[in-house]
Structure 1
Amino acid sequence: MHLPRLRRFTSAALVLLAGLIAGTGANAQGTAFTVRGTVVDAATQRPLPNATVRLRGTQAQTTTNAQGEYTLSARVQPGTYTLEYSLIGRGDATRQVAFGASPTVQVAPVALQQTAVALEEIVVTGTGVSARRVEVANTVESVRGEEIAEAPGASTVDQALQGKVTGALISENSGQPGGGVSIRLRGTSSILGGAEPLIVVDGVILDNSDAALVSLGANAGRGSAALTNRLADIAPGDIDRIEILKGAAAAGLYGSRANNGVIQIFTKRGVQGEPRITFRTEASVSQTSGEYDLLTYPFAGPADVAFVRTTRAGDPIRLGQPVERFDIQDEIFRTGGGTTNQISVSGGTTGTQYYVSGVYNTEEGVLRSTDYEKKSARASLTQRITDELQVIVNANFIQTETNLVPEGEQTEGALTNIIFQPTSFNPAFDAELNRFPYSFLGANPLDVLNNWRAPEEVTRFVGSFESSWSPISDLTIRYLFGIDDYRQESQVFRPPFSVSARDIGFITNPVRFSRQLNSDLTATHKAQLNPSLALSTDVGFRYTSDRGEVISSSASGLPPFQTTVGGANLSTGQGISEFRTIGGFIQERVSLNDRIFLTAGLNLEGSSAFGENERYQLFPRVGASWVVTDEPFWENTSIG
């Protein structure tokens, strides 16, 4: 079957003005400080690139450049804080830094000692098979669930990863509540193609699309500016650990979808024992870092004369005459509150273990009339049917409701009006006109907040069925079926006569249906040929299916008081995209004396997105690792 190629949106959308203001201000208080310094090798004093520098207790983090230099910006209250330095293969370090009168602080060079990595830690490769970290012969980073759940000020998984993954660039796309977060594990390697990593939860490949259903700026033609993020649907408190796979090895394991790396999320499961009930609640406060310094000069200037022209009473404004100034920032911004409540029950017997949890999360935006609400329920059941056969079932139901506002590009945003509208304009409701007065910019910010609407609702189900069968002691056959299914409905409503007396109003109501399926069959055989030689062979098959459909309807020329699609000018549209992959892989791991590990693998993938003459692509991988500290000669060295 020849399926049409999916249109690709640009991976980097222009960040709208309101997103920058609100996103930077959310959860931020205090004064802006900048820290500069250098990270070097303790033995050679050479600069260390890609070291992570994080300000403890905040989301502020950065990485060092090729010269080992870093610049870290944070908005905090004056006082003494702790800087944390980390790099794979190096010991961690901390430094105390005092923020006071000076906005810039220079830190003395920090030296990191070379040390052994946690080589014995168990990780899961793309074949779904557990192995020691040292055996996989490629970079795998792990983040414990406790670090995710306890990340300060982070209500979503992607926000909680900030500062915990070496070399990863994690930034907010929007300051709207429930806003999207962009993750770059290997930098932006394509102008037109997507740069987001592949997200896998309990073996289920998730849709983490960044394509927007509606554009909340005046320039509606700009897509790929999603204001919410589907990865945010996963509750941080349900996570057991996260593994990040970077480099070319990711494509060798997962195929073309993994060119930008893989984030594997493993959720909590039940453990044997008496039922254990856990309740966790958090409260958060979000506010802007301050207010705009608006013009307060009490006499009319050229902008007042040219654009505002008359007072509320109808008198003309003349250059140099006294005028009244209006600052409505207190009516636009607010201190937003948020809560996250989670309850979970886990336990089980030798043969059956269970984990059940429920989450309720609310968040108020710093812009009035914006808010976010999430309800989710998750269940995991592990059942050992026989000594050789075990099945695991995971189910997660999520429902979110978000109220957004136009972000402020050109003429439609509340923030745009605050910045560019002369302060002699009084935007307050006019009782005589029975409406908000018209702004020369087109939209009255108070009218936008009170009467315009931009809600979004998402209903999502993520589930998986996994069986593991070991007919003999050295052979394990594993099958996994995963599904990610959701419905996303957005709306933008602008009442008639809200911009001018000739304004005919507008409403658009697109709905997206998305369903992703993946089916994996893997066989693993391990053989200890002699005391110094061991083999591990993985052979598997993988099939994925991705179907998306967008149905949109819009109308203009709305009658008064109408809030649904209908009017003089109606338009509808429908778009369907399908994407399928099928392939097989084989991988061999060789262990020599449990110190030298060689890995080689082939992944053959056929994809409907590839050209007709390039339908199948081969992704090879080769890797090797050597635990030199386990060699006998190492003990006789001064280092050992």
Structure 2
Amino acid sequence: MKLTLLTVLLGWILLSGEIQAQDKSVTGTVISGEDNLPMPGVNVFLKSDPNKGTITDVDGNFSIEGNPEDILVFSFVGFLSQEVLIGNNTSIKVVLEVDETTLGEILVVGYGTTNKRDLTGSVGSVKGEEIARLPMASLDNALQGRAAGVFVASPSGTPGAGITMQIRGNTSLSASSEPLYVIDGIPIISEDLSGLFSGGQSTNSLADINPGDIESIEILKDASATAIYGSRGANGVVLITTKRGKTGEAKIEINGLYGVQSITNEIEMHSSREYLELMNDAIRQDIRAGESYGYDNITDVWGMDPADPDLQNTHWYDAIFRNAPIQSYDISASGGTENTQYYTSLAYFNQEGVQLGTGFERISGRVNLDTQVKSWLKVGTNLNLNRTIQDRTINDNSLYGVVINTIAGDPMMPVYEEDGSYADPFSYFGWWMLDNPVLIANEYYRFTRTVRSLGTVYGDATLSEGLTLRGSMSIDYTNLDDESYTPIISRESQNSDYNGQGTYGSTQDFTWLAESYLTYTRDFEQRHSLTAVVGLSYQESNRKFADITAQGYPNDQFTNLAVASRVTAGSTNGTNWGLASYFARVNYSYLYKYLFTFTGRADGSSRFGENFRFGFFPSGSFAWRMGDEEFMQSQDLISDLKLRVSYGITGNQDGIGDFASRGLFGVAAYRQTPGLVPTQLSNSNLSWETTAQFDFGVDMGFWGDRIMLSADYFIKTTDDLLLNRLIPGIAGFTTVTENIGKIENRGFELTLGGVVLDGPLGWNSSFNISQVRNKVLELEVDDQIVNDSHILSEGHPIGTFYLIDHEGVDPQTGNMKWVDVNDDGAINSADRRIVGNAQPDFFGGWNNNLSYKGFDLGLFFQFVVGNKIFNHSRASYENLGWSRIGTGFPLPDGNNHKLVDERWMEPGDQAEIPRASLSSVNWREFSTRWLEDGSFLRLKTVTLGYNFSPEMVEKIGLSKFRVYIQGQNLLTFTGYTGLDPEVNQDSRNPQAAGADFGTYPQTKSFSIGFNIGL
């Protein structure tokens, strides 16, 4: 027995020795099959024992112990795993290919990237090719309807005008509700820097960027995604990534587009004959109702007969609107070696406005460069330089606006007198027109020139396996010049008696940003995966202003300030702000199925009080990849299923003054002796608006991910609103900025898309719909009157209308049945009540891409449902009320919409429009008579293209050649009676949203284009 045990023991020792002797060291390199570059961070382990493994270094090299029978497994996110038998090999070269199932699923997030499968937050994505060739000046305009939860509106069709974007609702009353825009890591200046008054219009800083340079746009929506941007993440974050070069042969692309634009809609207004007949009916109706004028028709007063065939009839639309060209051209070159990659482009965009006197022009250049200078060090730069010129006229929320004077225009008034001078409205019966709109468009001179540069220099250093350090220095520099001239011949100049007025303004903004952060990535035992980011950021902005105003010009041919007889005003000013930040994020996964993200950022802002200079903004999220569980593997319907939940806190500090917390002094004079006087109370406790957001989401794939669905439910509550609190005037001030008030946004968003057909006829489709319910929860003083048409009230949305209401038309008298709220027998502003709001019930888009052989067809629809619009234009120019001069000369306010032809005419008529009258019995300017449904469905884009076959293009030395025709805003289905349902006369104030007063309309266009690859 002892001998047997000894024999077994000796045999085991000898066998073990033999096995140990067979182990050997295996080295090798892993490279990418996409660009042939070494791949650091690749997991290499034994298939028989996953605990025995390693990770490739910065050069893609690895070393591992194993025996000939062992199989090595190589895995990396976004690439297909590969298995290699060791056998007799001592050195192995492995090429990992991109996993086509996840191609394009790498998303940019704050300070890093992630695979969409591992995402725990809510992020929308739009690829650059979807918007690159659209005939639009700015990238934000192109995002309309393309991402769930993102509401984008063009308050004005003015070329290069500002856009409003809300991500999951309006979160602020006085601060900005616009998202933070980050281009290649630079949080850019996106507000209107122009000092010119042009009504409700604003310039658009994002129009400085060439959309053709964009690789992708990620929209961070929930707190888990946005908390990494802390005090600026409450309104969401738009991450814009530009194109970069790839290793390989140089690629040259040339693109061009030329098109013609026109207005989307034309309001049917009365001709001269029709309007005179309306006036006659008004006189007849008033006489029947008991009024006495001393005349029976308008001919007796004006001497104009509606039947006169020689009656002047001016169609003012033809005078002010035109078919206008739009064109865009760009050329880019990209490529590189294994160590250096480059992308460079030059682009030109020019859009003449459909209205006289307007247009937008941009020329831009970009260079993106990346170089692997050492095996452990990569450096690079992004440089973008743009120059834009925007021509504008007064419009939108101005009595001297071109559009409002056009649609109210007197059809019996000519554009020009016989001597060639502009016709004066005050020589034609004193109609509503304040001035000749063609004169305003042609002779008022106002434009904005902008030179802007965005630049970054960065370095990425690999410190050890899985540990990298990135440092960067960025600038955002803007030099903007404004010029305007109000001509001597204008009614505005004559009324003010300043004989022509010129202005010049200059704004310079220099913003710099320094950032550095560490990223650590590690997989443990194929069970645990960890990615951690920690860093710091410093940003500072310095802004300088200068402006001068002069009056008294010799004539309208010389408009430089140098020829003015007197300078009436001039000033220089400046401001600055700074932000110091510290941030961290940890992504952890267990078994690649249970995903956790924790984020925190501390921001210190110069804008806030010394007691609350720093704020901390944390978030946490969890995702469960339920589709990877064993119990989900026995069915074929659901191919992917992930549940997400997140909660976090973000802030908002934009939209208020840089010194809102400070006690300020201004300059005053007493008996020509200068001095300082206090102008603002200090508040050392002033802090951020704080938004807490909860999100629950689900991502699903069906039939092998052929159909994909993503749905989210969210609740956003914004507290500590930045508002002015009223204080007793005895203190010498009437307000002080404090943190008061609360707003809630809750809603649901859904995206559904996938492959409908994949045969010879291909069809991909994507549909998104969103519902956001906005509500004011707390105010310092409830029921605050914003203006003549809006109110702020607890329990109601921002943008709530507060108007005199009516209950239809009395079928016996033809008069409006106004609602007398206070029962005092009079109808006036005291009878206003809440009657609706400007917030839509639903909004979204539907995108379709079809292909057959070399042809491709794109159809994109946008829709908005349930919002109200106060048509202030109609309320103004459809007033038949009049005043008496001498013996009672009627002075109507303006022309009328042809809808008035459907008015009440005789007792018993059932009509929605009351009888015509020269009295004010049926006219109240701020009433629900002018409140309309703003819902619309718009065929936003139609593109039909043809790709020439590779064999054909190779014969002429090209790599690709595509031609296409495109239509933009071709069809709009709406019940709104204005020029266009996308309106907002005061786009900078969400409290007064949804009103239309002479808004410059949207345009439709037809264009042809080409894409050439060399």
TM-score > 0.5 by shorter chain:
yes
SS at match of 1:385: strand
Cα deviation for residue 458 of structure 1 reads 0.7
- Structure 2 residue 469 is matched with structure 1 residue 477: yes
Inter-partner Cα distance in structure 1 for 2:251 and 2:304: 73
Residue pairs, 1:255-334, within 5 angstroms? 255-298=230-273, 317-318=302-303, 320=305, 322=308, 323-334=311-322
Query: Residues 272 and 411 of structure 2 are in contact (CA less than 8 Å); yes or no, is this contact kept in structure 1?
Result: no
* Aligned residue number for residue 186 of structure 1: 168
**Amino acid of the residue matched to residue 139 of structure 2?**
V
* Aligned residue number for residue 415 of structure 1: 403
* Aligned residue number for residue 615 of structure 1: 613
Cα deviation for residue 389 of structure 1 reads 0.5
* Aligned residue number for residue 142 of structure 1: 125
**Amino acid of the residue matched to residue 135 of structure 1?**
D
Cα deviation for residue 319 of structure 1 reads 5.9
Inter-partner Cα distance in structure 2 for 1:470 and 1:326: 73
Residue pairs, 1:103-502, within 5 angstroms? 121-126=105-110, 128-151=111-134, 153-210=135-192, 212-217=194-199, 225-298=200-273, 317-318=302-303, 320=305, 322=308, 323-407=311-395, 409-431=397-419, 436-437=423-424, 439=426, 440=430, 441-499=433-491
Query: Residues 213 and 226 of structure 1 are in contact (CA less than 8 Å); yes or no, is this contact kept in structure 2?
Result: no
* Percent identity for Structure 1 against Structure 2: 28
Query: Residues 414 and 449 of structure 1 are in contact (CA less than 8 Å); yes or no, is this contact kept in structure 2?
Result: yes
Normalised TM-score (structure 1):
0.74
Provide the aligned length of Structure 1 versus Structure 2: 504
Cα deviation for residue 409 of structure 1 reads 4.0
Cα deviation for residue 391 of structure 1 reads 0.8
**Amino acid of the residue matched to residue 259 of structure 2?**
S
SS at match of 1:157: coil
Inter-partner Cα distance in structure 2 for 1:511 and 1:471: 46
Relative distance call for 1:119 and 1:386 in structure 2 (3 A) is closer
* Aligned residue number for residue 529 of structure 1: 524
* Aligned residue number for residue 26 of structure 1: none
Cα deviation for residue 230 of structure 1 reads 1.1
SS at match of 1:294: coil
* Aligned residue number for residue 580 of structure 1: 578
Cα deviation for residue 515 of structure 1 reads 1.7
Deviations 1:64-83 (A, max 9, x none): xxxxxxxxxxxxxxxxxxxx
Q: Which moved more, 1:420-429 or 1:356-365?
A: 420-429
Query: Residues 551 and 567 of structure 2 are in contact (CA less than 8 Å); yes or no, is this contact kept in structure 1?
Result: yes
Inter-partner Cα distance in structure 1 for 2:544 and 2:592: 51
* Aligned residue number for residue 550 of structure 1: 545
Inter-partner Cα distance in structure 2 for 1:256 and 1:397: 29
**Amino acid of the residue matched to residue 193 of structure 1?**
A
* Aligned residue number for residue 602 of structure 1: 600
Relative distance call for 1:483 and 1:410 in structure 2 (3 A) is closer
Inter-partner Cα distance in structure 2 for 1:491 and 1:468: 44
Cα deviation for residue 590 of structure 1 reads 1.6
Unaligned regions of 5+ residues in structure 1, if any? 1-116, 218-224, 305-315
Inter-partner Cα distance in structure 2 for 1:409 and 1:443: 15
Query: Residues 221 and 237 of structure 2 are in contact (CA less than 8 Å); yes or no, is this contact kept in structure 1?
Result: yes
**Amino acid of the residue matched to residue 325 of structure 1?**
N
**Amino acid of the residue matched to residue 140 of structure 1?**
V
Inter-partner Cα distance in structure 2 for 1:357 and 1:289: 33
Deviations 1:495-522 (A, max 9, x none): 1132175642222222211122221111
Relative distance call for 1:211 and 1:173 in structure 2 (3 A) is farther
Inter-partner Cα distance in structure 2 for 1:632 and 1:317: 88
Relative distance call for 1:383 and 1:568 in structure 2 (3 A) is same
Inter-partner Cα distance in structure 2 for 1:207 and 1:496: 37
* Aligned residue number for residue 629 of structure 1: 627
Cα deviation for residue 455 of structure 1 reads 1.2
Query: Residues 422 and 436 of structure 2 are in contact (CA less than 8 Å); yes or no, is this contact kept in structure 1?
Result: no
**Amino acid of the residue matched to residue 625 of structure 1?**
A
Query: Residues 467 and 521 of structure 2 are in contact (CA less than 8 Å); yes or no, is this contact kept in structure 1?
Result: yes
Query: Residues 203 and 480 of structure 1 are in contact (CA less than 8 Å); yes or no, is this contact kept in structure 2?
Result: no
Inter-partner Cα distance in structure 2 for 1:300 and 1:639: 69
SS at match of 1:448: helix
SS at match of 2:314: coil
Unaligned regions of 5+ residues in structure 2, if any? 1-100, 281-300, 639-1014
* Aligned residue number for residue 503 of structure 2: 508
Normalised TM-score (structure 2):
0.48
**Amino acid of the residue matched to residue 238 of structure 2?**
I
Relative distance call for 1:118 and 1:159 in structure 2 (3 A) is farther
Cα deviation for residue 555 of structure 1 reads 2.3
* Aligned residue number for residue 563 of structure 1: 559
Inter-partner Cα distance in structure 1 for 2:600 and 2:456: 26
Deviations 1:303-351 (A, max 9, x none): 89xxxxxxxxxxx943657542222322211011111001011111111
**Amino acid of the residue matched to residue 519 of structure 1?**
A
**Amino acid of the residue matched to residue 215 of structure 1?**
F
Inter-partner Cα distance in structure 1 for 2:396 and 2:172: 28
Relative distance call for 1:296 and 1:124 in structure 2 (3 A) is closer
Relative distance call for 1:518 and 1:324 in structure 2 (3 A) is same
**Amino acid of the residue matched to residue 475 of structure 2?**
I
Relative distance call for 1:615 and 1:496 in structure 2 (3 A) is same
Query: Residues 379 and 396 of structure 1 are in contact (CA less than 8 Å); yes or no, is this contact kept in structure 2?
Result: yes
Inter-partner Cα distance in structure 1 for 2:617 and 2:105: 27
Deviations 1:564-601 (A, max 9, x none): 23433510133322111102112222211111111112
Deviations 1:190-238 (A, max 9, x none): 1111011111111111111046521213xxxxxxx45321112211111
* Aligned residue number for residue 53 of structure 1: none
Relative distance call for 1:435 and 1:335 in structure 2 (3 A) is closer
Inter-partner Cα distance in structure 1 for 2:468 and 2:600: 20
**Amino acid of the residue matched to residue 131 of structure 2?**
I
**Amino acid of the residue matched to residue 376 of structure 1?**
S
Larger Rg: 2
Query: Residues 228 and 584 of structure 2 are in contact (CA less than 8 Å); yes or no, is this contact kept in structure 1?
Result: no
Measured on the aligned residues, the alpha-carbon RMSD in Å equals: 2.5
Inter-partner Cα distance in structure 1 for 2:201 and 2:459: 36
SS at match of 1:590: strand
Query: Residues 193 and 480 of structure 2 are in contact (CA less than 8 Å); yes or no, is this contact kept in structure 1?
Result: no
SS at match of 2:130: helix
Relative distance call for 1:303 and 1:424 in structure 2 (3 A) is farther
Inter-partner Cα distance in structure 2 for 1:589 and 1:293: 60
Cα deviation for residue 411 of structure 1 reads 3.4
Query: Residues 334 and 342 of structure 2 are in contact (CA less than 8 Å); yes or no, is this contact kept in structure 1?
Result: yes
Relative distance call for 1:495 and 1:154 in structure 2 (3 A) is closer
Query: Residues 250 and 259 of structure 1 are in contact (CA less than 8 Å); yes or no, is this contact kept in structure 2?
Result: no
